Structure 1
């Protein structure tokens, strides 16, 4: 399965009084690069989340965002500062006696005094929190991978279409180059006749020149390798593993063979075909930069 290196995935859930959201996005990169933004209280999840993503992604620059909002008081502990509360009560009792006023101290009154009641975060159950975050993160990763697969299928279809075009161009180059030696011999013979007039032309020398020309301009090996590379390209596209680097190397080989053909053949028609061939290879190279 071909996977694109660009993708996006998001998931969220309300678990144990916490609203958990995980978001992933990725762009092209030569290797696997990971970064994340987590709440400070969740720093201990950094490595766990990285391993979770790395199990599904081998190449690409991936960014993970985790947000957690507490929607209940489950994570909050309210405590009483008894010493301070007793101090306030003693002070109010003293005021009542000295000023001859009714002592109407109530719990509600004491609770409103500063610092009598304090709120602190309850100890985090790290294992429970990890299980909840992991559950949401796995859903986000599934959506992320699904999008990469969809984009990868589009890339595969485009590359396969261009491979077909390359095969057609190579076949045309083979056809056009088939008669180039005879054409060269005829042209050379006509030129010699023009220069030598009625004098005899050395047929052996003519054959030798034609053979030298044929050897210098032979492209059979290059076209055979191009056909082989295209066939191998198609095989790699069907592999169920990361293939981007393999395709990158094979694309360089395609380009090398086309350059060799261009340098050997001086025929205008073949040169135009080579230009088209190199154009298709360059378009493939641009596409596979997005493949994992």
Structure 2
């Protein structure tokens, strides 16, 4: 089973007139990259929530957004600093008088100064907010993982179909390859016979060079390795571990190298065309693997 790196999840948790809503979005990234945005009362819990997300998501750029909503039954988290408000009102009144401005200081003026609201230090309330934030985030991550798993299944089906194309091309190459090296050697031997060579040339050396040429044209080892990489790729797609992106990237790198070698060693035009087809499908697989965790 594989997971896509892109997805979206949403979750909520509530109690005692307090409700926390969490949204999680993930995008492609080679490593785990965490960003956090939250209401003022929840901003202190970034480290705890990062570790929670890190435990569920291994790779990808993850953005977590938290919003706290309250009803009138919820306990207060802030109080008005009355003394500071009185001092500010006097200072503003004096400033207006000094500048010759009309009108007095109103409540609307004071509301523009957020520092007049002081955070209530209540350990019980802080623990409650953290619990709600964790529950909402965990629910959002569960929703996110469901979406990533569904998209991963779609990607796995597409990649399996492309593996079938590559496997078919490998079978065709194996069928065509059979006597290609020997035919190339026989063709070269006929050319040598038509040359005006001295009677005393070393026939043993010529046969040795022809044998070396036949060995260089042999691609059976590359085909065996290609089949092995394809089988390993299929097993990785079905692995229950979930985190498979880096392993699939490595296997594709090896498959591309073997396909390149097949195309460069053969003297058959048909096999060269099959090699191009394999490399095309491998590149398409590589694009898909960039989306896998």
TM bin, normalised by shorter chain, reads 0.7 to 0.9
TM-superposed deviation, 1:151: 0.7
For 1:142, the equivalent position in structure 2 comes to 142
**TM-score between the two structures when normalised by the length of structure 2:** 0.78
Root-mean-square deviation over aligned CA pairs: 2.9
The match for 1:94 is none
The answer on 1:225 being equivalent to 2:225 is yes
Paired residue for 2:38? Answer: 38
Provide TM-score, normalisation by structure 1: 0.78
1:153-210 residue CA offsets vs partner (Å, 9 max, x unmatched): 11111111111211111111111111212322443354356556xx9x9986775454
C-alpha separation between the residues in 2 aligned to 1:72 and 1:169? 69
Asked if the contact 2:7/2:147 (under 8 Å) is kept, the reply is yes
How far residue 252 of structure 1 moved from its aligned partner, in angstroms, is 0.5
Kindly report which structure 2 residues correspond to 1:196-215, keeping only aligned pairs within 5 A, or say none: 207-215=207-215
Q: How many residues align?
A: 256
Q: Is the 8 A contact 1:181 1:210 kept in 2?
A: no
State whether structure 2 residue 277 is matched by structure 1 residue 288. no
User: Which residue number in structure 1 is paired with residue 274 of structure 2?
Assistant: 273
Contact 1:152–1:291, Cα closer than 8 Å, also in 2: yes
Name the structure 1 match of 2:53. Answer: 53
Gaps spanning 5+ residues in structure 1: where?
Answer: 82-111
Report the Cα offset of residue 18 of structure 1: 2.4
How has the CA–CA distance of structure 1 residues 80 and 156 changed in structure 2, closer, same or farther, with 3 Å as cutoff?
closer
Shift in Å at residue 8 of structure 1?
Answer: 0.4
**Which of structures 1 and 2 has the bigger CA Rg?**
1
Cα distance in 1 for residues equivalent to 2:80 and 2:262:
83
How far off is 1:57 after superposition? 0.4
CA contact (8 A) 2:20 2:133 kept: yes
Change (3 A) 1:28 1:119: closer
Structure 2 partner of 1:84: none
Residue of structure 2 equivalent to 1:11:
11
CA distance in 2, matches of 1:80, 1:214: 91
Contact 1:75–1:122 at 8 Å: present in 2 too? no
Q: What are the superposed Cα offsets for residues 8-61 of structure 1, whole Å, 9 maximum, x if unpaired?
A: 001234432223210000001111111110122212211111111111100000
Rate the CA distance shift 1:176–1:205 in 2: closer, same or farther, 3 A: farther
Q: Is the 8 A contact 1:5 1:28 kept in 2?
A: yes
Supply the distance in 1 between the matched residues of 2:207 and 2:142 (Cα, whole angstroms). Answer: 68
- Comparing 140-149 with 10-19, greater Cα deviation is found at 10-19
**Aligned ranges for residues 1-292 of structure 1 at < 5 Å?**
1-72=1-72, 74-76=74-76, 123-124=121-122, 125-192=125-192, 195=195, 207-241=207-241, 242-292=243-293
CA distance in 2 between counterparts of 1:164 and 1:4 reads 21
Tell me how far apart the structure 2 counterparts of residues 79 and 165 of structure 1 sit (CA, whole Å).
70
Quote the Cα distance in structure 2 between the aligned partners of 1:149 and 1:36.
Answer: 23
Contact 1:185 1:206 (C-alpha < 8 Å) held by counterparts: no
Deviations 1:49-105 (A, max 9, x none): 111111110000000000112222533488998xxxxxxxxxxxxxxxxxxxxxxxx
Q: Name the CA distance, whole Å, in 1 between partners of 2:266 and 2:74.
A: 78
1:18–1:72 CA contact under 8 A, matched in 2: no
